[in-house]
Amino acid sequence: MSTTSFRLDDDLQEKLEITANRTKRSKGWIINDALRRYIEQEELKQRILEETQDALADIEASRVVSGEEVMKWLETWGTAAETKPPLL
C-alpha cells in the first residue's frame, strides 16, 4: 500500500475524526472507502457518457429500429406466435 499526503479542510478533518471514532474505523479506511466510491461513480459517469455518444452516433447513422416495430414484437411475447426481435 502506498502513502499519499494532501491538504484537508479543517471542517473535513473534524468530521473525519468524529466519523472514525463513531464507526470505530481508521481515518485511512474511511478516506480509502470514500475515494473508492468516488472513483467508481466517476467511472460509471464516463461509461454512461460513452454509451450515450455511441447511441447518438447510431441515431445519426440511421442504425435504429422504429418504436412501432419494437411494440409489434413486444406484443407477441409469451404467445404461441412469439417473434424474433426486429433487426436493423
Mean pLDDT in order along the chain per 10 residues (88 residues)? 94 98 98 98 98 97 95 95 92
Number of H helices, E strands in the chain: 3, 0
> What is the predicted pLDDT for the residue at 46?
98
- C-beta of residue 16 within 8 angstroms of C-beta of residue 8: yes
What's the whole-model pTM score? 0.73
Residue closest to 69 by CA, chosen among 88, 56, 54: 88
Nearest 10 degrees: CA dihedral of 13, 40, 42, 57? 180
Helix axes 10-23, 27-60, angle to 10 degrees: 110
pLDDT of residue 23: 98
Cell match 473508492: residue?
36
d(C-alpha 87, C-alpha 69), whole Å: 9
